[in-house]
Structure 1
Amino acid sequence: MPFQPDEIDIAIIESLLKDGRKSFRQISREIKVSTPTVQARYERLVNVGLIKSVSPIIDLGMLENKTEKHIEKIKSKSMKKHDVKITKNMILKMKCDLCKGPISDKPHVLKIANFERFFCCTSCRSLYKEKYKGRIDALNQKK
C-alpha cells in the first residue's frame, strides 16, 4: 500500500520548510502534537524517502567580499545556485537584534538557553534584556 501523508505529516513538512532548524519540541508546540509523535513522523518521512535532507538556504545578500572582487560578481544571474563559492575573504553583514542597525565591529552577544542574540552595542543588549526579561527568565529556567 502506498504511503499517504496525513495532516500531521503535512504540518511537520510545512513547519520545516519555514525553518529547517526547528527542534522536534518546537514543531510539536507549533502543530499541537507530542514531541515523540513529531520525531517518529519525521523519521518515517525520511525513511520513506519524502524528506531527503534539511539543507541551509544561504542569503548571499548578507555576505560582503573584503577583497577587490565584489560580491555582485558572485551573485550574477549567470551562476547557478550551487556555483557560489564562499571564501574566507568574505564577511557577514549582521544587524542588531534590537535596533536593526548594522553591527560594524565584534557583536555583543547575549546567550539565552540554546539561542544567541547579537547586538551593535552594550546599550542595545541591556535594553533587549530589560524588554524581554520575562521571556528570558522563562527560557533560562527550562534549561
Structure 2
Amino acid sequence: MRELDETDFEILQLLVADARRPYNEIADAVGLSPPTVSDRIDRLQDLGVIRRFTLDLDRSLLSEGVAVLVDVRAEPGRVADVLAGVEELDGVEHVFVTADGHVVFHARLQEASVEALVAESLDAEAVREYDVRLLADSSWNSQPRGVELALECDECGNTVTAEGETARIDGDRYHFCCSSCKSRFEEKYEELREAA
C-alpha cells in the first residue's frame, strides 16, 4: 500500500508485542528519531490501522463467575441480530462470527444459567440452537508466530500490498488491493447512498 512502508510494519510489530513500548526504544529499533516514530504512529491511527491501545488482562484473576464458551447457531439472515444481542451481554470477553452463521463467544458468567441468559437477552426466533462448554483455561496470543501483518481489501478481502490504494469516503478510510476493487467499491457505495 502506498501509504504504509516496511518501517510502518516494523513499528506495528513492535507495538503488537508491547503497546506501552517507549517511542525512543521503537526509534532505536527502526532507525528513526522518537518524534518521527510519534508522527508515524499518529498517522497509523489516522489511517485506521491502529484503532486503540489496550491492556491484556488475565480476567480469571480479576473476575468472578464461570468461564464458558458459547456457540450460537443463528437462523439464516439473523447473524447480525444474534451478534448485536451477544455484544450487549454482561461478562462477554471475545466474540467471533463464523462464515457458516455461528456466533461464538467467550464469557465469564455469574450464577445465572446460560439458558436463562440466552432466553432473556437474545431474540429466540434468531437462534436456531446453541452449545455451551465450560472452559478449564484460555489464553490469547497477541502476536501469533508465522503471521505477517497485512491489511485486507475492503472490496474483495485479498491482502493489500504496496501496489494497493486507499480512499477516504464520507470520512471513513478504506483500503483496496487494486484500482479495480477501489472503483467497484466506490460505485457500490454511490448506488447505496443514492438508494437511501
Normalising by structure 1, we get a TM-score of 0.45
Q: What TM-score, normalized by structure 2, do the two folds share?
A: 0.34
* Higher share in helix: 1
The structure showing larger relative contact order (alpha-carbon pairs under 8 Å, at least 6 residues apart) is 2
